Amino acid sequence: MYRYMLMVRRFNERMLLLQRQGRIAFFTESNGEEACQIGGAWPLNRGDWVYQSYRDAGMCLVRGVTLKALVDQLMGNADDPNKGRQMGAHWGYKESNMVSLASPVGTHIVQAVGTAYAAKFKKDKTVCFTTFGDGATSQGEFHSALNFAGVFKVPVVFFCENNQYAISLPFRRQTASENVAIKAEAYGFEGVLVDGNDVLAVYKATKAAVDKARSGGGPTLIEAVTYRMAGHSSSDDPNRYRSPEETEHWKARDPIKRFRAYMTKKGLLTEQEDRAMQEKVENEIVTVIKESEKVPQPPVTSMFTDVYAEIPWYLKEESDELTREGS
């Protein structure tokens, strides 16, 4: 868990640098939310389905997606399974049952419930896990999804990463409710409030919810209270809507520092082991970036693939014409 958390942190820092240098176009950071990503994904089985948010690169890693696949996606190169067609940080990997997400906020929550309903209909033991920010709880899809899930008791876990801001709108202006977790009561199932900066607490809460869903106990809404240390995206300046004092307050609750202190106290991690792990993670990221930057862009003719099993004659003609003009 600790290694994955380090990887997510360094991945975020490196990708933002690449964006600032013009080597990738767009990125959404998640510094401060590592415990949510790693602790949340840890209890899931390989056959479970994940409808994730655009900040959840760590969940991709836990699910078996390689670091290079994430970098390839951000670069939109020829090795990217999406062939550069998706916006940056819009993850989707079929082999890991991680469904490609869309930019509109909250739409994937309803889709996750639909998949969970199918699992119940088929009487298999699949669990659907969907993550979203506090801003998504203001969307109609959130309420429709929770209502359906409650009525039909589908095997879904709703995981709200409450990082205190929906872009620039603070959580206190999102809702008059005491918290997000309490909203589950209106839909007839359990809501759980957890410290989102404690990876073990997140794991414990998520595992209980996943086990309950898998055994036929229905849905759970988990609210993991955390903080987005950086901006909403590489296009955002968070200093315009929040104070330095607030950021410093949350930095003192850094999930990586907390987990490191816990393991050190328990005798599970030495300072030397920590330094070696951080160096290994850094070297791995640097190596992957160099590999991905050597990969060419997808061929222009790839726009004609992945739509039809057999390309229609008129698209074949257009593809051939494009090839001739390109040569």
**Which residue numbers are catalytic?**
228, 232, 241
Let me know: does 59 contact 101? Beta carbons within 8 Å. no
List the structure tokens of 174.
Answer: 């999102």
CA–CA–CA angle 308, 313, 317 (5° rounding): 110
The number of beta carbons lying within 10 Å of the beta carbon of residue 178 is 9
Main-chain phi, psi angles of 6, to 5 degrees: -60, -40
Main-chain phi, psi angles of 101, to 5 degrees: -95, 165
The number of beta carbons lying within 10 Å of the beta carbon of residue 317 is 11
Q: Maximum distance among all alpha carbons in the chain?
A: 68
DSSP state of 98: B
Closest among 166, 207, 162 to 183, alpha carbons compared: 162
Which 3 state secondary structure label does DSSP give 194?
Answer: strand
Task: Name residue 11's amino acid.
Answer: F
Query: Is residue 41 exposed (0-12), middle (13-18) or buried (19+ Cβ within 10 Å)?
Result: buried
Task: Name residue 141's amino acid.
Answer: E
